[in-house]
Structure 1
Amino acid sequence: MNDKAKQWIDRYVDVYLLVTRRINAQIREHLGEDLTHDQFQVVRLINSIDHCTSSHLAETLAVGKSSITAIVNRLVDAGIIDRTRDEADRRLVYLSLTEYGNSIFESAQEQVREIISPYLQHFEEKDIEMFIVDVREAGAVDV
Structure 2
Amino acid sequence: MERDNDPSPNWLLLDRQLCFALYSSSLAMTKLYKPLLSELGLTYPQYLVMLVLWETETLTVSELGARLALDSGTLTPLLKRLETARLVTRTRDAADERRVLVSLTDSGRALRQRAEHIPEQMLCATQCPVEEIQALTQRLHALRSSLEQARTDSSLPD
**Is TM > 0.5 for Structure 1 vs Structure 2?**
yes
Superposition deviation, residue 19 in structure 1: 3.4
Q: Name the counterpart of 2:71.
A: 64
Aligned length: 136
Q: Residue 59 of structure 2 aligns to which amino acid in structure 1? A: C
- Identity score, percent: 24
Q: Name the counterpart of 1:118.
A: 125
- TM superposition outliers: structure 1 runs of 4+ over 6 Å: none
For residues 47-100 of structure 1, the C-alpha deviation after alignment (integer angstroms, 9 at most, x for no partner) is 223541212223333333122111111111111012243332233222121121
Task: Supply the RMSD in Å over aligned alpha carbons.
Answer: 3.0
For residues 14-67 of structure 1, the C-alpha deviation after alignment (integer angstroms, 9 at most, x for no partner) is 554443322211211221241011111111122223541212223333333122
- TM-score relative to the length of structure 2: 0.66
Superposition deviation, residue 124 in structure 1: 6.2
The answer on whether the counterparts of 2:88 and 2:103 sit within 8 Å (CA) in structure 1 is: yes
- 1:108/1:90 Cα in 2 relative to 1: closer, same or farther (>3 Å)? same
- Alpha-carbon separation, structure 1, partners of 2:99 and 2:130: 44
Alignment counterpart, residue 133 of structure 1, candidates 129, 132, 138: 138
Q: Name the counterpart of 1:28.
A: 34
Query: For 1:92, what is the secondary structure of its paired residue?
Result: strand
Bigger Rg, structure 1 or 2: 2
Alignment counterpart, residue 44 of structure 1, candidates 30, 45, 51: 51
Q: Name the counterpart of 1:107.
A: 114
- 1:102/1:140 Cα in 2 relative to 1: closer, same or farther (>3 Å)? farther
Alignment counterpart, residue 79 of structure 1, candidates 75, 86, 105: 86
The answer on whether the counterparts of 2:123 and 2:130 sit within 8 Å (CA) in structure 1 is: no
- TM-score relative to the length of structure 1: 0.72
